[in-house]
Amino acid sequence: MVDEITQVSAFGAAAVHALCISGLTAAHCFSGRGALVSDPAHALGLLVVFEAPLVIAVFSLIRRDPKQCSFLKAVVRGLLGLPIGALLNAFGAIVLGAPVGIKYWTATIYWSLLMSLFTFVPAACVFGASKVNWQNVLSHSNYCRPTNAVDYMISAPAHGAVIGAWLGAWPMPLDWERTWQEWPICVTYGSVAGYLIGMAISLLLIVTRKRRDRAKAD
Of the pair 80, 180, the CB lying nearest other proteins is at: 180
- In the complex, the smallest distance separating the C-beta of residue 28 from other proteins, rounded to whole angstroms, is 6
- In the complex, the smallest distance separating the C-beta of residue 115 from other proteins, rounded to whole angstroms, is 13
The answer to whether residues 104 and 135 touch, using CB atoms and an 8 Å cutoff, is no
d(CA 80, CA 67): 21
- In the complex, the smallest distance separating the C-beta of residue 218 from other proteins, rounded to whole angstroms, is 33
- In the complex, the smallest distance separating the C-beta of residue 188 from other proteins, rounded to whole angstroms, is 11
- In the complex, the smallest distance separating the C-beta of residue 25 from other proteins, rounded to whole angstroms, is 9
Of the pair 73, 189, the CB lying nearest other proteins is at: 189
List of residues 6+ apart from 104 with CB closer than 8 A = 98, 183, 184
Of the pair 6, 130, the CB lying nearest other proteins is at: 130
Of the pair 31, 60, the CB lying nearest other proteins is at: 31
Residues that bind other proteins (CB under 8 A): 28-29, 32-34, 36-37, 91-92, 94-97, 99-104, 131, 135, 138-141, 166, 169, 171, 173-180, 186, 189, 193
Of the pair 80, 166, the CB lying nearest other proteins is at: 166
Residue 182 zone, left/alpha/beta (φ > 0; ψ -120 to 50; rest): beta
List of residues 6+ apart from 12 with CB closer than 8 A = 62
d(CA 25, CA 19): 10
List of residues 6+ apart from 150 with CB closer than 8 A = 5, 6, 8, 62, 64, 126
Task: Tell me the three state secondary structure of residue 149.
Answer: helix
- In the complex, the smallest distance separating the C-beta of residue 12 from other proteins, rounded to whole angstroms, is 27
Of the pair 71, 91, the CB lying nearest other proteins is at: 91
The answer to whether residues 38 and 53 touch, using CB atoms and an 8 Å cutoff, is no
Q: What one-letter code names the amino acid at 12? A: G
